[in-house]
Structures are given as structure tokens and as C-alpha cells.
Structure 1
Amino acid sequence: MARPKGLVFGVDFLELNALTNAELVMIRAQYNIPGAVRMRIPRPLESLSNPENEVLFFTDVFKHGLRLPLRYLVQKILAQIGYAPGQFNHNFCITLLGTITAFGIASEEEPSYKQFTHLYSVTREKSADQGGWV
């Protein structure tokens, strides 16, 4: 497989996507994704690291409770951490939505960013080249 031009990350060289257009239709129906949300399968050799005018999601995050449109608290926490929705992997999804659910079960208000980051222990990576949130 030829390498795509542009930025290169490990996600660009995963195995080819096995999803079909029929499965996309089923995902839309199963998870109530609004019709206004355009869904498509990445083309062969398409770089996933630099999408233009698109947002990437792992399909597994829908299995773990993510719904579109993103609820305000999810948008707020993603913005404060500096995550793009495409960085929203299923483990983070489970943690964030689980925290929101736990606060609801405890009859508390939705967690604040400060409460979430205390429970999730979000910290800056100490990498010399590209620091991010871990």
C-alpha cells in the first residue's frame, strides 16, 4: 500500500476499513444519527490524520453510549481538554459518559470540568516534542 501524502500517524496505516455502506445505514438507524449528519467510509489510501471539513468517529464509541448531536456537557469537556471528536476513543467515551451517568444516579448536577478531570486524572503529557492530554 502506498503511503498517503501529508501528515502521517499510526492510524493512517490501519488495516483497510471493513465497513460497508449497508452497515453505515444500520449504524445510523441503530444509534439514531440524524439524517443531516453525512456518513461515509474512508477511501483507500485516504489519510485520516488531516480530514477537511469532516469529523472522524470510531464506530465503537456509539456502542458505548455516544450519541449525535453531542450533548452540551460532552462538547464542553472535549473543548476544555482540547480533544477533537475524532480523538474520542471508546475508553474515553466509557469514562466520560460513565461519570455523567454516575452523577445522575447520585442525583447530582452534571459534573463540572474540574470534577471530571479530578476523577479522570487528565494531565499534560511531558513529551518534549508534542505534549498532549493523557
Structure 2
Amino acid sequence: MDNHEFESESYEEVEEDDVGHDESPQVITIVTTLPSARSHRLRTRLSLPDSGYEIDNVQSTVSANMLKILKKTFSIPNNVFLHLSQDNDLPSFPPEDKVTFCSDFFRFGVRLPLHSFINRVLCHYKLAPSQLCPNGWRILVGTLTLFRSMYNDDHSLAEFQYLNCLKASVCSRWYYFHPRPNVSKFILDLPDNNKNWKQKWFLISGSWGGELREDGVVRSVPTHFGIPGLIFVLYVHTCSSYASLHV
């Protein structure tokens, strides 16, 4: 397919009520301290009922042994580091050098470092990896695999957008891809329920594939949660002053 024939901003297909971006941008206050030379930045884990990010209230069940098994089973390179969550970690807003990931993503065919096409999709929609729910990953990886097996080539972003549009879960702000009307479904028999995947989150750092280099331009996959196409402003209390962080 021609890369320009179906080029569009698929996020515009998301219903207004599902996303709720007709409201004013939300502001979250996070208490923190300045980093020291010998310690990581301390951050207080908060219950954020108004943030809309359900994962912020989910305790991780991942153990050190599980991370070792993941590392070996899925041949994760030595320059990609897996970290257990700490009590002060907020999954929607991880430390600056880390990103939140879920172990079940590997079962759906995701590998580290991330494939360049996956980076392209996440960059385009401004999604952090763990904002995409299981069926979103199944459609993304399944479509990529199908095109490579049929055409021995990766499909373009425009082709993926022609087949799918991005939608949002009304309450918890997980995102997923949905086949467009009047377009044949390529990925079938998706489960209606994916149990316990939210509890299996941990952090990754290093060369996990978070950068996309195209035409001399470097783009980064978002590591902090946000609404696609919008910029959140989070006010961080550092000592006695406030700093604005654009996510």
C-alpha cells in the first residue's frame, strides 16, 4: 500500500466521551525530594483516585525470581535491565530513566528491545507502553507478524491506521486498537477478559528500544502516562519550590 494513501490521525477516531478531553487538563501533585549523590530520588506513592490511571492503585506481584525467568525465557539482552517496583514507585510516572512494563506483554509476542514499528506506533499516538491494554498489544503485534509473513516486509503506519483506530476505556484510561468499520478483521478471537495482567508490572531501563530514528530525527517513546495528543502539566514539589514538568 502507498504510505500516503491512508495517512491520517487515527486518534481523531476516538469518541469524545471515551477520552474526556473536553475537560480542563488535570493537575496532579507529587511530593518528592531532591536527589542526592548516593540515593535515588524519593517519591511518595500516592493513591490518585482523580488521576484516572487505575494502575497507580495496583500493587505489583512481580518477584525477583520472575524477573530472572523473564530475562532467560525471552532472551532479554544484558543492556536491558529489569527492576522490581519499590513502595515509592508510581507506575504512571516512573523515575526518569525507567519505563513501566507488564510481564504478560511478552506472552503477546512483545520483545525487548522493542521493534521499530512498535516504537513508531507508540510515538505517533504518544502512548507509554503500559497504557496499551493486552488486546491492543495482540492487535499491534499480530498485525505486524501477519504482514511480515504475507509480504516479507513490515507494514507502514498508514496501513496500520487504515485497519485500526485507537480507542480508550472510559473509566481507567487504558487504550486499545479497534478494527475500523467496513474493514475486514485480521486478528480474531480476542479474549473479552485478561485477568491479573495489571498486577504484573515492573520497571525497565537501559537499551529497551525507546528511541526511534527516522530521516535524521530522533523521537522517544513516552515513559510517563498521558492522553494522546495532549500535554499534562504535573507540579512537583521539590523542597520549597515548584517545577513544571511537561509529560
Same fold (TM over 0.5): yes
Task: Say if 2:76 is the partner of 1:33.
Answer: yes
> Normalized against structure 1, the TM-score is what?
0.79
Deviates more, 1:105-114 or 1:33-42: 105-114
CA RMSD of aligned residues (A): 2.6
Task: Say if 2:123 is the partner of 1:79.
Answer: yes
Q: Which position in structure 2 is the counterpart of 1:20?
A: 63
**Larger strand fraction of residues:** 2
Q: Cα–Cα, structure 1 residues 36 and 123, in superposed 2: closer, same or farther, change >3 Å?
A: same
Between structure 1 and structure 2, the one with the greater Rg is 2
**How far apart in 1 are the matches of 2:54 and 2:166?**
23
| Structure 1 gap ranges (5+) | none
Structure 1 residue 46, shift from structure 2 partner: 2.6
> Normalized against structure 2, the TM-score is what?
0.46
Q: Cα–Cα, structure 1 residues 57 and 26, in superposed 2: closer, same or farther, change >3 Å?
A: same
Q: Secondary structure at the match of 1:75?
A: helix
- Are the equivalent residues in 1 in contact too, given 2:125–2:228 (CA < 8 A)? no
Q: Which position in structure 2 is the counterpart of 1:89?
A: 133
**How far apart in 1 are the matches of 2:91 and 2:227?**
20
| Structure 2 gap ranges (5+) | 1-43, 170-225, 230-247
- Are the equivalent residues in 2 in contact too, given 1:103–1:109 (CA < 8 A)? yes
**How far apart in 1 are the matches of 2:64 and 2:132?**
23
**How far apart in 1 are the matches of 2:165 and 2:157?**
11
**Larger helix fraction of residues:** 1
- Are the equivalent residues in 2 in contact too, given 1:124–1:132 (CA < 8 A)? no
Structure 1 residue 18, shift from structure 2 partner: 1.9
Q: Quick one: higher RCO (CA 8 Å, sep 6+), 1 or 2? A: 2
**How far apart in 1 are the matches of 2:167 and 2:142?**
19
Number of aligned positions between the proteins: 126
Q: Secondary structure at the match of 1:106?
A: helix
Q: Which position in structure 2 is the counterpart of 1:106?
A: 150
